[in-house]
Amino acid sequence: MPFSNLGFSPAVLAAFHRSIQAEEFAQATPVQQAAIPAILQGKDVLASAQTGSGKTAAYTLPILQQLISQESPQAGRPRCIVLVPTRELAVQVEEMTRKFAKFLPRKIKLLAAYGGVAIEPQMLSLKEGVDILIATPGRLLDLADQRALGFKQVGHLVLDEADRLLDLGFQAELQRLLAFMPDKRQNLFFSATFSAEIEILAAALLHQPVRIQIESEPQEVPQIDQRAIAVDAARRTQLLRKLFTENDWERALVFVARQYDAEKIAMKLRSAGLSAEPLHGQLTQGKRIQVMQDIKAGRIEIVVATDLASRGLDIKELPVVVNYDLPRSATDYTHRIGRTGRAGMPGLAVSFVTVDMQAHWALICKRQSVAAELEEIEGFEPTDQATPAGQDLVPTGLDINGGIKGQRMSKKDKLRAAAALAAQAKAV
C-alpha cells in the first residue's frame, strides 16, 4: 500500500515522499499500514512486529504530521518523548526522524539524550526547545533531576522496544517517569513481542488501544542461511579466523557473552591481521559511534559485540553474524541473526556450539524452529568432554538464560514488577 493512502495531508505527503524515496521506501509495510492511520486519529496503539518491519517510521511519520501544526516548543518542554532501551537505538531513531523531517514546512527540533556523554550539551539543546526527545530512561531522569526538563507539554509518549525496556530492568525508572507525565497524552507501545509484562502495563496506561500484531509472511522471512558448528571452546577464535578468510567474508558482527571477551577476541583477531574492534557498554559513546561508523563504511572487518548490539542497529548489507557465544535466550537468537539478511539481501548466521552448550542449542532450535544440523569442520573436530553435573556451565556467574545467577528476576518477579508499575501509573 502506498503512503498516499494512509491519511497524510498533501503538503506533508509531498515532504515525506522526498524523504521516503531517499530512504528507499517504496510501499508502506504492514505495521505502517495498520499503525499510521490510528496514530493520525489520535488513538493509543499497542503494536507488535519483528525487527526490521518498519516500526520506527510507523510512529515517527504520523507524529511529525501532528507536530508541524503546533507552535514551536518552549524551552525544556518537549511535545513528544520516545523512550528507548539503548544509546544505539536512540541515535538510530534520531537519525531516521531527522531525515523524515528534513523537508517539512516547519523545522522540527530533535534531540537524542543518553548516558555515557556529557549532559551539559543535552541540557543546552533542551533550553533551545525540542519537539521530539528520544532518550534512555536513566538520562531522561537525569535531565529531570537537573530541572532541565518539564513534561507538561508532552502530548505523545512512545515506548520503542517496550519489551526490551522491561527486560533490562527499567521498571523503577519507568515508574518515576510516568508520574511526571500529563494525563492527557497519546501512548504508543511498539514491541517485538506481547509479553505478559507488556500486557499488564498496557492495560493500565493505554486507553482503548488499537492492537496490532504483524506476523511475518513466508515471503517476508529474511533470507538467512543458518549454520551450527561444533567446536571446542578454546579453538573458537582460530575457527573464526579460518571461516572469515577462507570464505572471503567482507564484514562480520560477532556476538560474545562478556565485555572482557569482546576486548580479548578483537585483540587476537587484530594480531592475526584482521581489522577488528570491540563494542560493549563500557566504551565511551564516542567510541561506540565510531566503531559503528567504521563497520558500516567498511573501514573495519569485524565487530566483536555483547548483546547491546542485538537490537536497534542497522548495518546495511551486513553479510555475516557469528554467535561466538550462544545467546542467553532463544528470543535473543532471533534478534542477533536479524542483523543480517535485511532489506531483501541474503545473509549468513553461524553459531559455535561447545559441548556444554549443545542442550541449550537444542532448546534454541526447538523454540525458534531452527533446522540447522550440528556440523564439524575438518581440523576443528571437538574433543572436549561435557562439564560434570553440578558444576557451572558459565564460569562468569552468568546464567545462559540471562542475568546473574541468584539475582536474575524470575518470571513471577517480572510480572509482579510490571503489575506494581501499572498500579503506580493508575494512581498518579
Q: What is the pLDDT of residue 400?
A: 33
How many residues does this entry show for the chain? Answer: 428
Residue 134's pLDDT band (cuts 50, 70, 90): very high
Residue 30 has pLDDT above 70, yes or no: yes
Q: For 92-96, what is the mean pLDDT?
A: 91
CB distance 170 to 137 below 8 Å: yes
* Grid cell of 344 as nine digits: 531483501
First to last CA, the chain: 41
Q: What is the pLDDT of residue 364?
A: 93
Q: How far apart are CA 206 and CA 202, in angstroms?
A: 5
Q: For 268-272, what is the mean pLDDT?
A: 95
- Above pLDDT 90, what percent of the chain? 48
Q: Which helix (H) or strand (E) holds 240?
A: helix 236-246
Q: For 69-79, what is the mean pLDDT?
A: 88
Residue 395's pLDDT band (cuts 50, 70, 90): very low
pTM of the model: 0.63
* Grid cell of 393 as nine digits: 556451565
Which tens digit of pLDDT belongs to each residue from 296-318? 888 999 999 988 655 556 677 88
Residue 394's pLDDT band (cuts 50, 70, 90): very low
* Sequence-ordered list of residues with C-beta below 8 angstroms from that of 410, at least 6 positions apart, any chain: none
More confident of the two residues 392 and 184 = 184
Which tens digit of pLDDT belongs to each residue from 239-266? 999 999 999 999 999 999 998 999 999 9
Residue 398's pLDDT band (cuts 50, 70, 90): very low
Residue 286 has pLDDT above 90, yes or no: no
Residue 26 has pLDDT above 70, yes or no: no
The domains of the chain, with CATH numbers, are 3-217+418-427 (3.40.50.300), 222-375 (3.40.50.300)
Distance, CA of 311 to chain centre: 3
CB distance 313 to 292 below 8 Å: yes
Q: For 66-87, what is the mean pLDDT?
A: 90
Cα torsion angle, 72, 76, 80, 85, sign: positive
Q: What is the pLDDT of residue 427?
A: 53
Residue 206 β-bridge partners: none
Q: For 343-364, what is the mean pLDDT?
A: 91
Residue 132 β-bridge partners: 80, 110
* Sequence-ordered list of residues with C-beta below 8 angstroms from that of 254, at least 6 positions apart, any chain: 240, 265, 302, 303, 304, 305, 321, 322, 324
